[in-house]
Structure 1
């Protein structure tokens, strides 16, 4: 066989393979278009008692325009006796505190259990404190700085503090619902709570700040522990996670921490059955090529080597969530946070 004939045959074979693959994708597209059930417009939740926790910083706009009303609608649906609202706000320089006082009044009026803490401590106050034994790090900028994630974890734990106080009164809850500075509807939250008929360790939705790209890439890991291979549908490297997503089912993941903006998601993403054929094929092939020609192995190796080195420093150093770690450092700043 001549070289020219060989190249021609190879090109034809590749075109046939590509055409066949696209044909299979098209068949899948039409199957999913008519088989994926719509997300139910849930109005009831099977879990009777919900502890609602939230932390806020400079969120006046969303609090006044949406968040307060949505929370009130949620507690009215779940029932005042079945909910407790715990809010921890700190250091806002807008009028978030006043907006939360309005919420507190409305919750009082409805007889809803609550604890709303309005802390005057600002980011500037936090970073001006003498460095403590934990939560601080020596950065390349030549100084000790306050790590953002431990700081946020501490605030989140403060929002959960009423759980212990209520437990002493024999008041317990079936689920903890974190609601931060995201737009949500009653149906969104109830659907989330009913994920997998309420059987899960954690259930998250997706948060879209600049649709169609989902926002919180920090914590999401697919069923095999990989970070997302792309920020748009179908997101995942793992076949199990991708298949569940395409079929309109709850997606198995190893880690997540996301809010939810349903309007943005529906407008820019949708399920496999809501995408146009062109967009479906384009994104499937983008995902496929990214999986074939990229890897997160090097990132994972760097993290695991650093964890191994740290664990070797002391027998008390232990990390069970290695899959959730990221090779990135964020520190608190007066106007928010910064990468270092």
Structure 2
């Protein structure tokens, strides 16, 4: 059947109309997608903006040394007696430029009759010994009672000697050699610096008992920082630590730091932790509940160092260390401290000490706070990213140490060896650390 000419001529136009309609529908769909994408991006931008406001508004400016529990005032209301302890090794430049002037200022502020200074040095080949002798003379002028022990015995002397029969602190390493462990060596050094505390208490003439023990690393510190740290939570703690930096914004001492759940920092950037209670406290510049810390400067309640058995620094057993497991003496001391469960271990995020001037200028600026607003937001997202992406590695690392610990507990024991038990599980890591003539190393 023949179609009318008009109809035949209209068909191409109808076909074109269908194509136009399809094209129009496609354009409308694309425009709708773009609108939804813009709305989503706007919503995400709003969320990020609100998070920035929330993060910044909930944080106390870091330039304020903790109010109400941190103690910013340069006063010694209760005249607490403080035993100050330190180890030094090749620290001459920092000692002369920062550490010694700060210590002299501290003891004068705290009053010489309220402090005792105990310093142990060994193995230095720079001018550390001479710097400490100069400090000894200055403390003498101030009337400060003290014990400053310098030793000509070097690390090379230590690591090259033959250990005595049944002497601990040595292990057979993968290099096929009997080598000296770093942690027991440091623990012995710390115990040497602490031994005067009981001697002072038991002497018949002018016995002295201390309220707090202040450990100072080779850090840049100020008197107001020490005062703030001691006054954290109005002095109610088993131990409280500062936070330390060498290359900010990265935190330094993750080896000895464990959050309230016993986990190592999820990142080395603010706010450090994943445990909600610890995370929230860092974010609000409040005293942070942790299970362990050291971080350049730490204050202990002195009571456990007078009780029997006396609290001492230690390493893990050599038989466990030989399985490529290690734990810091600065972590194990909190595990062994009977006051830790009752009074808690705390970190004061407002007291920031450093190992060099450049780091100090960053984390203790003359103006403004630390971290900056952008640093806080970056830190939060670093924390989240590390938690999301790092959990398989953390899970594997934990299980690896658990397996080694279990194998050690069930392993063959030497004659007369007691039931194997290491209470410091939170401190254990998959490492082996040995002392060298010029320092130490991982194996």
Give the TM-score, by structure 2 length.
Answer: 0.70
Q: Which aligned pairs between 1:297-316 and structure 2 lie closer than 5 A? A: 297-313=395-411, 314=413, 315-316=418-419
Q: Structure 2 stretches of 5 or more lacking a match? A: 1-28, 67-71, 297-351
Query: Is 1:36–1:247's contact at 8 Å kept on the other side of the alignment?
Result: no
Contact 2:74–2:224 at 8 Å: present in 1 too? Answer: yes
Is the partner of 2:224 in helix, strand or coil? Answer: helix
Change (3 A) 1:215 1:35: closer
Q: Is the 8 A contact 2:62 2:370 kept in 1?
A: no
Distance 1:26 1:237 in 2: 19
Instruction: Say if 1:212 and 1:269, in contact at 8 Å, map to a contact too.
Output: no
Q: Structure 1 residue 293 and structure 2 residue 389: aligned?
A: yes
Tell me how far apart the structure 2 counterparts of residues 14 and 325 of structure 1 sit (CA, whole Å): 45
Q: 2:374 aligns with which of 275, 278, 293?
A: 278
Match of 1:207 in 2: 244
Residues 330 and 31 of structure 1: is their aligned pair in 2 closer, same or farther, counting only changes over 3 Å?
same
What is the rounded CA distance, in whole Å, between the counterparts of 1:207 and 1:36 in structure 2?
15
Q: SS of the counterpart of 2:242?
A: coil
Cα distance, 1:36–1:121 mapped onto 2, change above 3 Å = closer
Matches for 1:1-340 after TM superposition, within 5 Å: 18-19=44-45, 21-32=47-58, 38-40=64-66, 41-45=72-76, 46=78, 48-132=80-164, 133-169=167-203, 170-259=207-296, 260-261=352-353, 264=359, 267-268=362-363, 274-295=370-391, 296-313=394-411, 314=413, 315-340=418-443
Q: Check 1:60–1:300 CA distance in 2 against 1; reply closer, same or farther (3 A cut).
A: same
| Per-residue deviation, 1:234 | 1.2
* CA displacement at 1:226 relative to structure 2: 1.2
* Structure 1 residues 298 and 74: alpha-carbon distance in aligned structure 2, compared to 1, 3 A threshold: same
Task: Give a deviation string over 1:165-199, Cα, whole Å, max 9, x none.
Answer: 11212421111100121110111111111111111
The 3-state SS of whatever aligns with 1:75 is: helix
> What secondary structure is seen at the aligned counterpart in 1 of 2:125?
coil
For 1:206, what is the secondary structure of its paired residue?
strand
* Deviation at residue 222 of structure 1 after TM alignment: 1.1
Q: Deviations over 1:58-92 (max 9, x none)?
A: 11111111111111111111111110000111111
Rg larger for: 2
* CA distance in structure 1 between the partners assigned to 2:425 and 2:252 by the alignment: 22
Deviations 1:240-268 (A, max 9, x none): 11111111111111111111526736724
**Which whole-Å CA distance do the structure 2 matches of 1:297 and 1:9 have between them?**
42
Query: Across the two proteins, how many residue pairs are aligned to each other?
Result: 338
Structure 1: where are the runs of 5+ without partners? none
CA contact (8 A) 1:63 1:99 kept: yes
Instruction: State whether residues 90 and 125 of structure 2, in contact with CA within 8 Å, keep that contact through their aligned partners in structure 1.
Output: yes
The answer as to whether partners of 2:82 and 2:212 remain within 8 angstroms in 1 is yes
Output the TM-score relative to the length of structure 1.
0.90
